[in-house]
Chains A and B, each alone.
Chain A
């Protein structure tokens, strides 16, 4: 069965802390994505990766970075968390035929 696993469902961090959100897929997909979901705004693309060590900025990359050292793992990093980064973060990987498989999401609260 297809699986995208996000390491933490809920996190609470303080302003200025470094935050790591991990995502692992077991489908050998090349493309992986990080989205941010806020009420009324839909899913907004932060970063995506089309291969190991390859990454592209999405629409809202400011304050975020990513790492893809292995094909199955795509990490989102908040170098210095701020309160406006409180949100739901969704990771996805894409099947070659186009379908996206999403993880369960990581709800981050920054105090």
Chain B
């Protein structure tokens, strides 16, 4: 049930762009994105509920391709504050997994000055 995230790690210079992908083997109901800084709790970035939905949050945006059962997180003109581990969380339609949110293994993003 765990979604697959790629890449596992990304190293960027300030101002560079990055894309983090999240894919599932099951049909998705929703996709969540969270960021966790070292020693802190994960913090919600955004949730996508509909296929084709795109959302933005400052220079961080995401898309949800329901047909391909995947989501992508886009970080543009990265800042030092973007460093952390990014997790996608997925929820599935109905059945025994109703109500559960499954997280990927995370993508560690490091931004250097």
Binding site for B on A (CB under 8 A): 4, 31, 33, 35, 40-45, 48, 50, 56, 58-59, 90, 94, 97-105
Contact = CB atoms under 8 A, between A and B. Distances in A.
Interface residues of B, number: 24
Interface of B: 1-2, 5, 30, 32, 34, 40-44, 47, 49, 87, 89, 91, 99-106
A33 B89 CA distance: 13
Contacts of A99: 32, 44, 47
Contacts of B89: 43, 100
A13 B102 CA distance: 28
A47 B105 CA distance: 18
Contacts of B87: 42-43
Contacts of A48: 99-100
B99 A101 contact: no
Of B34, B91, B101, B105, the most chain A CB neighbours within 10 A belong to B101
Contacts of A58: 100
B71 to A, nearest CB: 14
12 contacts: A42-B2, A42-B104, A44-B103, A48-B99, A50-B99, A58-B100, A90-B42, A99-B47, A100-B34, A102-B42, A103-B41, A104-B40
B47 A98 contact: yes
A4 B100 CA distance: 19
Given A31-B99, A43-B103, A100-B89, 20 more contacts: A33-B101, A40-B105, A41-B105, A42-B104, A43-B87, A44-B103, A45-B101, A45-B102, A48-B99, A48-B100, A50-B99, A56-B100, A58-B100, A59-B2, A59-B102, A98-B47, A98-B91, A100-B32, A100-B44, A102-B43
Given A48-B100, A98-B47, A100-B89, A42 B106 contact: yes
Contacts of A105: 41
Nearest to B29: A98
Contacts of B100: 45, 48, 56, 58
Given A42-B87, A45-B100, A104-B40, A98 B32 contact: yes
